[in-house]
Structure 1
Amino acid sequence: MPKQEKQEAGTNLDHSARGPKPAHSREKIARVAVELADERGLDAVSIRAVAQQIGAGAASIYRYVDSSDQLLDLMVDRVSGEYVFDELTGSPEGQLLELAAQGRAIMHAHPWLAPLVQTARVPGPHTLRYLESALNALTSTALSGTQKLQTIAMLTAITSAFVINELSQQNAQPRGVTEVQQALASGQYPLLTAAFLQGATTVDQDEVFGSLIGNYLRGAGVFEA
């Protein structure tokens, strides 16, 4: 190989081929950050905290992650790798319902995720694969490219809002129950009282979620009622 070609080839090699082998990786940093958030909540996650978990100095982590925002991007992308796309078949609405159901399950497995996906994030490879799969589900529809992306974004927004509501109900402590009961018993709020009495004692959240997503997809023109 000519000398110039050797030099050019050398510039394409991973930096780890020259000098000491990196002690960490973005994948490892993201994994530790996700584990930390799962255990202690998102507020416990910082570059310094991740460095402590790894047993390294914060300065060494900055070799791989530029900022806290980028760390959050890596975390979102890592858990996006939990989607399973191989079994997505059938109608566009069926595939999107499956993706939404998987997203809901992933957000429950990582309770810090739902609020985070409602903010602007830089997509990584797992997130891009999710978008590609969702777009593939919409190939047979008459939606434009922009409309398809908007549909997918709304699907994520609805799912995350639903999960946030579910988690808030699970974590809520009963407050003012007696006061509400007394107010309803006063007879001053007949419509509200009737609504409470007509409500089911138990609600199938899976059914509610499926209906919510289905109604949105109908409105978005993915399929007709």
Structure 2
Amino acid sequence: MPPEDPLDVWRRPERSNVGPKPEHSRAVIAAAAIEIADKDGLGAVSIRRVAASIGAGAASLYRYVRSRDELVDLMIDAVSGEYDLKQSSEPAPMQLLGLALQGRTIMHRHRWLAPLLLTRPSMGPSALRYLEHALAALESAQMSGPSKLRTVAMMTAITSAFVQNELASETSSGDTARDPNGSTRYLAEAVQSGRYPLLAAALTGQHEPDGPDDVFTTIIATYLEGAGLPGPPDPAECR
């Protein structure tokens, strides 16, 4: 059996010209799968359970998706459609920061999403519209096409990694044996010991972040500046 083509779900038409008229749609199927994943995690999503949730037989669902992998691809693309891609005249860094902030919100809404974006980027229509919008923000930037693509991809990867860390922290927050301020105190003690002068210099003048929103905004702004975009957004103006 030839290997499955991960892009075939986007190449073939949703409705066949032969056979009975479809009773469902990919959008309905994806929405049902997303509801299951949001409630019980991605591991709970299966062709059989999704079929049952929309009142269909598991066998009939294979008329729409040929595998669970295709189902997951539909889910990723469906949530990619949750971005607000309205046109903006703001500078490129501000537009990209806005997309990153939206992405973080979407990944928190669908807690199963962030790890997937690091391993299986979507090529569906909603994902491509997002990419086109991000590239439009970079249209006037003095960067090559491949550099623009890498900038957008890395911004998504940073957002995904940040959200995964946030979710992991939430999961472990019930551990009463761990002092949430312990890491900060330990770092302060290490710096004050005098054994790490370069670290002490790097931390000099650093303000205490107001919270994860401030930290995330600063990380994205700093990355965009490093990527070559002038005038990174001021985190204080974006909160």
How high is the TM-score relative to the length of structure 1?
0.81
Q: 2:215 aligns with which of 190, 199, 208?
A: 208
AA of the residue aligned to 1:221? G
Residue number in structure 1 paired with 2:109: 109
In 2, the alpha carbon distance for the partners of 1:115 and 1:210 equals 20
Residue number in structure 2 paired with 1:82: 82
Q: 1:221 aligns with which of 228, 236, 239?
A: 228
Mapped contact 1:78–1:126 kept (Cα < 8 A)? yes
**1:53-92 aligned within 5 A:** 53-92=53-92
- Higher mean displacement: 53-62 or 97-106: 53-62
State the 1:71 CA deviation: 0.8
The structure where helix makes up a greater share of residues is 1
State the 1:135 CA deviation: 0.3
The superposition leaves residues 178-218 of structure 1 with CA deviations (integer Å, 9 ceiling, x where unpaired) of 7x97xx8xx9x9427999xxx99984211111100011011
1:147 aligns with 2:147: yes
AA of the residue aligned to 1:84? D
State the 1:88 CA deviation: 3.2
Unaligned 5+ residue runs, structure 1? 1-11
Mapped contact 1:92–1:137 kept (Cα < 8 A)? yes
Equivalent residue of 1:38, what SS?
Answer: helix
Mapped contact 1:33–1:75 kept (Cα < 8 A)? yes
Equivalent residue of 1:177, what SS?
Answer: coil
Q: Describe the shift of the 1:89–1:171 C-alpha distance in structure 2 as closer, same or farther (beyond 3 A).
A: farther
In 2, the alpha carbon distance for the partners of 1:200 and 1:92 equals 26
In 2, the alpha carbon distance for the partners of 1:46 and 1:204 equals 37
Residue number in structure 2 paired with 1:6: none
**1:44-193 aligned within 5 A:** 44-172=44-172, 173-174=174-175, 176-177=177-178, 190-191=189-190
- Higher mean displacement: 38-47 or 54-63: 54-63
**For the aligned residues, what is the CA RMSD?**
2.8
AA of the residue aligned to 2:72? L
Q: Describe the shift of the 1:202–1:176 C-alpha distance in structure 2 as closer, same or farther (beyond 3 A).
A: farther
AA of the residue aligned to 1:212? I
In 1, the alpha carbon distance for the partners of 2:209 and 2:112 equals 26
How high is the TM-score relative to the length of structure 2?
0.76
Q: Describe the shift of the 1:90–1:224 C-alpha distance in structure 2 as closer, same or farther (beyond 3 A).
A: closer
AA of the residue aligned to 2:190? L
Structure index of larger Rg: 1
AA of the residue aligned to 2:214? E
Q: Describe the shift of the 1:144–1:200 C-alpha distance in structure 2 as closer, same or farther (beyond 3 A).
A: closer
State the 1:74 CA deviation: 0.5
In 2, the alpha carbon distance for the partners of 1:50 and 1:175 equals 38
In 2, the alpha carbon distance for the partners of 1:193 and 1:38 equals 45
In 2, the alpha carbon distance for the partners of 1:115 and 1:89 equals 32
In 1, the alpha carbon distance for the partners of 2:88 and 2:40 equals 34
Mapped contact 1:88–1:98 kept (Cα < 8 A)? no
In 2, the alpha carbon distance for the partners of 1:128 and 1:190 equals 48
Sequence identity percentage: 51
Equivalent residue of 1:48, what SS?
Answer: helix
